[in-house]
Amino acid sequence: MVPVVHSHRLRVRYSETDQMGVVYHTNYLNWFEVGRTEFIRHADLTYRQLEEKGVLLPLTDASLSYKKPAKYDDEVEIRTLVSEITPVRLTFSYEVVRVSDGELLVTGRTHHVFTNTAFRPIRLSRTEPAVYDWLEKQHKGGE
């Protein structure tokens, strides 16, 4: 079983770089958010719709490993997949790759917990079983 990988491309903007033209390190976390937002959009669901259903997905932990820098005007691809899922937790894994040469720039993971609007943990498999099933299917390779 190979998880489904969603890819999203973007071009590095000047405002995302430092004086040397290198992407400032915290911007990768923003790109991870773009990756998971677009990943969820493939379920014909937006974060806003999920929140309207009373389901939040707060971040509990993040890790990044920098391999090579992205630079101003590079086109990069954010590759996102569900690497772990339980009824109460979800982990996304990411790769940021430069499109022009396929160079791996950054890898990372974000850990989340499913909560209600009062930030109390919920079991997504009970609250929104269709959403949970879709995420689990992505983790298992879209079977």
Catalytic residues: 18
Instruction: Tell me whether residue 77 is exposed, middle or buried, using C-beta atoms within 10 angstroms of its C-beta: 0 to 12, 13 to 18, 19 or more.
Output: middle
Query: In terms of Cα–Cα distance, which of 86, 82, 84 is closest to 124?
Result: 86
Q: How far apart are CA 112 and CA 56, in angstroms?
A: 9
Q: What is the DSSP letter of 24?
A: P
Q: How far apart are CA 122 and CA 143, in angstroms?
A: 26
Which region holds residue 43: left if phi is over 0, alpha if psi is between -120 and 50, else beta? alpha
